Chain A
């Protein structure tokens, strides 16, 4: 078994960065913010360099396409981490194409987002705290993808959950943010329970938690990874207590793991936390809630693909849940008004696609979409962040419009990102989405159904993304330049307002001038003095890089076939049925669907009346509709009443149940018992304190009693034993 010496540094570098940022205030005093803005992105980009080095130097020589590495310098991969009662878990890393691909996405895209965040968070007084969490997140995410056993993956899993929680509620002074953080954390608990149960089942069935072991008894090896005769044969050969592992047990394991994936990757029914998670700073949404953490469910499924391959029912469940999520997410995305919420629902929907791919056994296709999605969704989030930044914190698209002339560069990258996600021919999203749709079509049984719903979702995606573009950039300006309120978040409102005062006054003057010069002047010179301004270079450069990747990566990989070849060794081959249409026909249909969606958006929002207000449906009609809870618009606006239903069932009913538990069980029985016991313990304690007189003679007496106890005990036992 080959070993990797470099891999640990991919994880350790961000970890050192985390330590540095955490103590930056103590080390650097007043220069802390500056140092942090160098170190935080630096370590992540360095880690990316290490990942590339591993890819170039170590992986090609790997036996059987995987390497095992240690996590702690100076130890080996077989150094145990926990050793207790027959269970041994090692500090081990697994480097294979899958984990390395994810490591490069996490550090590469993550590094770009770090650079972007140095610009975005520059004015926040708590910037070091932000980057402390951010680097910790990268560390945890890398442990998740590179960990060599389920327990390390679980550590990473919980770690990213914690960082997500901390970052969603980063601006904790606002109650909604803290609530959103709680929601994400609590909903994820449900999923994590599933993961934990799955892990325990794996332990009891396979007797280990490692993916690969030198003796060939790792979980994935037992499940068939690398077996020439196929996975099934391997599992049959492996038996627990004489009987082969039954499909039912494997299905249970897979469903438990999938429940974990549902929580982390925001699938129905555990998806409700993701839209609210947008309360965090935008780089957080881009990194954690679009590009990396939310895809960890797909990574986990792909990692366990050998297990899932044995459990067709679990795979079917994955596929249908994925499809449903894709569809529901897209429908809700049609009517949202908050720019980040549209993107959030789009993320939910795209994640659904990825699960659909896993469900039909096309793991490579799923990972391909993970990769391209990481590029264009990070781009879109960061772009929307640039929009929000330039709008001084405004997120409501109804109050935007006409931004194209102010922020041309941002518009350009957003435009490319939108066309990429919409599946416009030959852009990255086109290839990855088509790959999934085509494999769905060719999956045996229900292929046509999956395909048609998938296509409808694709059309909706193309529509709502262009709706976003129209509302933000093309329709008539919906705000008065110079009168934009400052809405930048911070936990230190006083400080922040003060910092902006000078800035704001300057703009107020500018707008006063503009009013005097009239509309034409505004058009001509408004740009120079406008309150709306392009973002700094630190924010724009990452956007350009991501834009290039969003445009070209998919096509490049598809043409060369490199992606598929790279991942082939780590996942089982897909079981194909004959697709009713050829691949080229699929491309044409996908292109037409995408162009249809884009075209509809164009037609709708270019109508003069609509372009004037930026609203397709007049506001009065909407108010009218919103009164009727069954109206389709209201239905979508309120996310299929999903939150309301959860509120009703889990919060209201749960609340009543909890109330019952509290008043009757807890206050009455438990509290009574505990308080009674506490009272007794306290009483005994007080009584026995009286024995502690302070007189040596009393202590000696107690000792004498002890002597008697010991003597009687020993001699009594002796006489009993002697008989």
Chain B
């Protein structure tokens, strides 16, 4: 067993994020000089803290994997890649938020604190190697997000979103916790000392040695309930219904953050769980495939008739969750034979997804003006003439979301296809192909509105004046979406360490 200091060393990035959160919280509430400059100080301190955390994370990216806190936390290259993606998401989101909050008169320090705390939760999620720790981490992330969703206190929609998210989240959390209990009960005999356990590494080792016959069916029930909890967080059909309401109601910067952060965190968790349970994949493989197909089609079909871009993007993020899940299930084929390939494709796609989601919500923020959000397709009419720059970057994101070359979304989809075909999940690949065609319709509808329609008097006319933070975030994500699509190997190398996942 490792000592306390070694244990702490394993979660240094998360600790830095948490400390940054406290600094901002205390500074903003207790130091008057800070408070008067909070507009600039809060985001910049947060970003600096995040950069330090990421720097620390990157310097250790290839270091050997280790467990900490008696095996509750694992620090392996897989989790470090997850932390990198989460951290990038947070940085971009803070950049998006700055002026937007000011325009909405929501410029409070708590906002950044909540972002940092939810990020802390997310970081623990990707590092959690034990189910109770995982549960606590998920709740840490969720509670902060509930509050963020309702951050626009004066807006009814925002309040409604927060409440719905909270109620359904509590519902899902119940299933998750019950699932953990069942897994605990069903894991009798898996650990080396014969006691029940919630430690994933012990479960994975036990399953790899004993297989299906060595455990009771209670483990299966537990696993199904775990997936219920995860499916809610990842917004998989039919657990997705909160997503459009919450995405639409929450302030746009929160939506962007939430959409990317939750997806990265929860899919790294699902990857870890699926890898651990790969020896008994026969139990969950088919069911998850069904869920993936439902999600792919459900998300895409529902997105077709949306007139609100935020809502459309919400459904599209449901669809993308389906694509990612399709890659994830390949982990279970032939007891983990294609694990490395599947992890690689999933992490690459999460990277691409982060960039294009943050970017497309970013454009909406960029186009919003004081007191009026840019939300509907109508608001985008004739954009190419009014604001060519905004239209062109939006075009890049729409092409990337639709999976059209030379964008990163295309490469990501190509890699998922590659995994599915190599691991023999061709039917899933076909579904993915058909659904992608449907998705082109609603992505290109945005382009159509921007390029071929004349604005009418209900269109949001001009954007807010000072927009430096948003434009930085949007430009970076757009350029990365293109460059990493043209030279995908750069992104592939960044996510490559993720294949090194510690399971025993």
Contacts and interface: CB of A to CB of B under 8 A. Distances in A.
Interface of A: 72, 79-85, 91, 678, 681-682, 684-686, 688-689, 691-692, 694, 696, 698-700, 702-703, 705-707, 709-711, 713-715, 717-718, 721-722
10 contacts: A83-B489, A685-B301, A688-B298, A706-B291, A707-B175, A710-B287, A714-B227, A715-B220, A717-B282, A717-B286
A706 B229 CA distance: 11
Interface stretch (B61-69, B146-154, B235-243): B235-243
A705 B291 CA distance: 12
A711 B224 contact: yes
Contacts of A714: 220-221, 223-224, 227, 283-284, 287
A91 B488 CA distance: 12
A203 to B, nearest CB: 16
A682 B304 contact: yes
Contact of B415 (A84, A702, A722): A84
Given A80-B489, A696-B168, A717 B284 contact: yes
B164 interface: yes
Given A84-B418, A710-B291, A715 B304 contact: no
Most A C-beta atoms less than 10 A away, residue of B168, B238, B241, B492: B241
A692 B241 contact: yes
Contacts of A705: 238
B228 A710 contact: yes
Interface string B163-180: 110011001100100000
Given A82-B489, A699-B164, A710-B224, 14 more contacts: A85-B422, A91-B487, A681-B438, A696-B168, A702-B238, A703-B168, A705-B238, A706-B231, A706-B237, A710-B225, A711-B225, A713-B284, A713-B287, A714-B283
A711 B221 contact: yes
Contacts of A707: 175, 224-225, 228
A715 B217 contact: yes
Nearest to A90: B489
A625 B231 CA distance: 81
A698 to B, nearest CB: 8
Contacts of B164: 696, 699
Contact of A703 (B163, B172, B213, B441): B172
A80 B496 CA distance: 14
A579 B441 CA distance: 66
A703 B239 contact: yes
Q: Which 5 pairs of residues, A with B, have the shortest CB-CB distance?
A: A713-B287, A699-B241, A714-B224, A706-B238, A685-B305
B241 A715 contact: no
B305 A83 contact: no
A606 to B, nearest CB: 59
Contacts of A81: 487, 489
A721 to B, nearest CB: 5
Interface residues of B, number: 51
A71 to B, nearest CB: 10
Contacts of A713: 224, 284, 286-287, 290
B215 to A, nearest CB: 10
Interface in B448-476: none
Contact of B244 (A91, A682, A692): A692
Contact of A699 (B168, B213, B303, B305): B168
B213 A82 contact: no
B418 A85 contact: yes
A510 B171 CA distance: 93
Contacts, number: 123
A199 to B, nearest CB: 17
Contacts of B302: 685, 688-689, 692
A717 B286 CA distance: 8
Interface string B116-147: 00000000000000000000000000000000
A688 B301 contact: yes
Contacts of A700: 167-168, 171
Contacts of A702: 238-239, 241
Most A C-beta atoms less than 10 A away, residue of B223, B238, B245: B238
B224 A83 contact: no
A703 B171 contact: yes
B168 A718 contact: no
Contacts of B217: 715, 718, 722
A715 B488 CA distance: 41
Contacts of B78: none
Given A82-B489, A686-B305, A710-B228, A721 B221 contact: no
A315 B308 CA distance: 61
Contacts of A722: 212-213, 217
A715 B418 contact: no
Most B C-beta atoms less than 10 A away, residue of A72, A684, A713: A713
B443 interface: no
A718 B489 contact: no
B247 interface: no
Contacts of A718: 212, 217, 220, 283
Interface string B434-453: 00001001000000000000
Contact of A721 (B168, B282, B414, B415): B282
Contacts of A721: 212, 280, 282-283
Contacts of A703: 168, 171-172, 228, 232, 238-239, 241
Given A710-B228, A722-B212, A682 B305 contact: yes
A110 B6 CA distance: 63
Contacts of B492: 83
Contacts of A711: 221, 224-225
Most B C-beta atoms less than 10 A away, residue of A678, A682, A700, A706: A706
A136 to B, nearest CB: 15
B160 to A, nearest CB: 8
A714 B182 CA distance: 14
Contacts of B418: 84-85
B228 A706 contact: yes
Most A C-beta atoms less than 10 A away, residue of B168, B245, B283: B283
A685 B311 CA distance: 13
Interface in B256-312: 280, 282-287, 290-291, 298, 301-305
A688 B287 CA distance: 22
Contacts of B414: 84
A659 B250 CA distance: 51
A685 B415 CA distance: 29
B319 to A, nearest CB: 12
A461 B175 CA distance: 87
A82 B489 CA distance: 6
Contacts of B220: 714-715, 718
Given A706-B228, A711-B221, A721-B212, A696 B287 contact: no
A713 B283 CA distance: 8
B412 to A, nearest CB: 12
Contacts of B286: 713, 717
A711 B225 CA distance: 8
Contacts of A692: 241, 244-245, 302
Contacts of A709: 238, 287, 290-291
B231 A82 contact: no
Nearest to B422: A85
Nearest to B222: A714
A269 B167 CA distance: 71
Contacts of A698: 241
Contacts of A710: 224-225, 227-228, 231, 287, 291
A350 B26 CA distance: 80
Nearest to A719: B217
Contacts of B228: 703, 706-707, 710
Contacts of B301: 681, 684-685, 688
Nearest to B489: A80
A717 B290 CA distance: 13
B42 to A, nearest CB: 32
A688 B168 CA distance: 20
Contacts of B212: 718, 721-722
Contacts of A684: 301
